[in-house]
Amino acid sequence: MDKIGVGYASVTDIEKKYVMDVLNNERLSQGKYVAEFEKKFAAFHDKKYGVACNSGTSALHLALETLKEVDKWDENTEVLVPAITFIATSNSVMHAGLKVKFVDVEEDTYNMNPDEIEKHITENTRCIIPVHTFGMPCNMTAIMEIAKKHNLRVVEDCAEAHFAKIDGKTIGSFGDISAFSTYVAHTITTGVGGLVLTDNREMMEILRSLVAHGRACTCERCVASDGKTVCPKRMQTEIDRRFSFIRIGYSYRVGELEGAIGLGQLERKDEIMGKRHENAEYLIKGLEKYEDLLQLPRHKENIEHTYMMFPILIKKGSGLDMKDMTKFLEKANIETRPMLPLLNQPIYKEIFGDIEKEYPVAEYIDHNGFYIGCHHGLTKEQLDYQIATIGEYIKTRRQ
């Protein structure tokens, strides 16, 4: 069996058609395709405005810098993040010059535990970043109640959970701002990229400014320009508004090629998401005989999981060893990844000290959790092979 990877990106004739249109029109910088992709992606997540950028990490950074400006945050401002997440979440807080405070997670969802939040809130806490890990939505009802009680902003990290829902409400539509990644291994991809979504026009304009060096011009006509028309607002000021800079911004933009691929991917959304659900359910069905040993990604009926990947947690008392098991799978050409260990990362131990034991659930997941692929590119043969190989490992260790 050839290697079975955890990520997958497919490009069909739909995406190729849009990309060729971009190339034929000879406009590679941001234009109509990026603008349309922003609008459609935002609409799918019940938000008014979308701002495309070059990564999910940049999306988080932009969201925090925007709130920092609007709410006048300073270097003492604290932001709560889960103790299990990709390092970009907490790095973004530090990139924005803010302080990270970690919160332990739920053992069954791997998401921020609402019951653990309030003990970490201080007079300097201003924001919560819930992360919808692996495509599993957080308990946003509880988190939003806590945020309202303590007057905290909420930035949803939706990098791994495009289109997931809670009681029919799409993730990304709960908080003040939401951040998404469209990196190549993610559900909807543009190759590289990300988006920030919000309902607040002031925040949208700040985001548009920050993403393009801090320029003054943020109007839609310039953003979606075809390069052949001139916006009448440009010359109404002493300096052309496109080259008038009103804040310290960043070069976080994407171009028309990313917008074109993204639009094509959105047209295939139901196909992509349907196949991921089908594959995940197939894996769960095939592995449920081992649920006395392994925790599988099950969820409540009111949740729509999007299965960016297939997380597996070795249960306490199972006698199984994560390192041993992942080595066995890797030797069988099944790619595995650790389940987003954060607090034991070398750089974080250097910055924060040896704090992993202060977060017992995260600590257990760090040393006993991993994930495999369930993406839309997998065949039934590959799924069966993953199930059989896991079964083979368990059988050899039980003897």
**Mean pLDDT for the stretch of residues 237-261:** 87
Residue 237 has pLDDT above 70, yes or no: no
Q: What is the pTM of this model?
A: 0.94
**Mean pLDDT for the stretch of residues 247-275:** 97
Distance separating alpha carbons of residues 223 and 395, to the nearest angstrom: 58
At 232, is the pLDDT very low, low, confident or very high (cuts 50, 70, 90)?
Answer: low
Distance separating alpha carbons of residues 273 and 277, to the nearest angstrom: 6
| CATH number belonging to the domain at 13-267, selected among 3.40.50.150, 3.20.10.10, 1.10.287.130, 3.40.640.10 | 3.40.640.10
At 378, is the pLDDT very low, low, confident or very high (cuts 50, 70, 90)?
Answer: very high
How far is the first Cα of the chain from the last one, in angstroms, to the nearest whole number? 26
Residue 223 has pLDDT above 60, yes or no: no
Which 3-state string (H, E, C) describes 114-178?
Answer: HHHHHHHCCCCEEEECCECHHHCCCCHHHHHHHHHHHCCEEEEECCCCCCCEECCEECCCCCCEE
Helix, strand or coil, per DSSP, at residue 91:
helix
E strand spans, the chain: 49-53, 78-82, 99-103, 125-128, 153-157, 165-166, 169-170, 177-181, 194-198, 294-295, 303-304, 310-314, 337-338, 369-372
What does pLDDT average to over the chain? 94
At 221, is the pLDDT very low, low, confident or very high (cuts 50, 70, 90)?
Answer: low
Question: What's the CATH number for 269-398?
Answer: 3.90.1150.10
Domain residue extents for the chain: 13-267, 269-398
Residue 259 sits at φ, ψ, to 5 deg, of -60, -40
Distance separating alpha carbons of residues 157 and 120, to the nearest angstrom: 19
Distance separating alpha carbons of residues 105 and 264, to the nearest angstrom: 36
232: tokens are 């009448």
Helix, strand or coil, per DSSP, at residue 80:
strand
pLDDT score of 244 = 84
Residue 224 has pLDDT above 80, yes or no: no
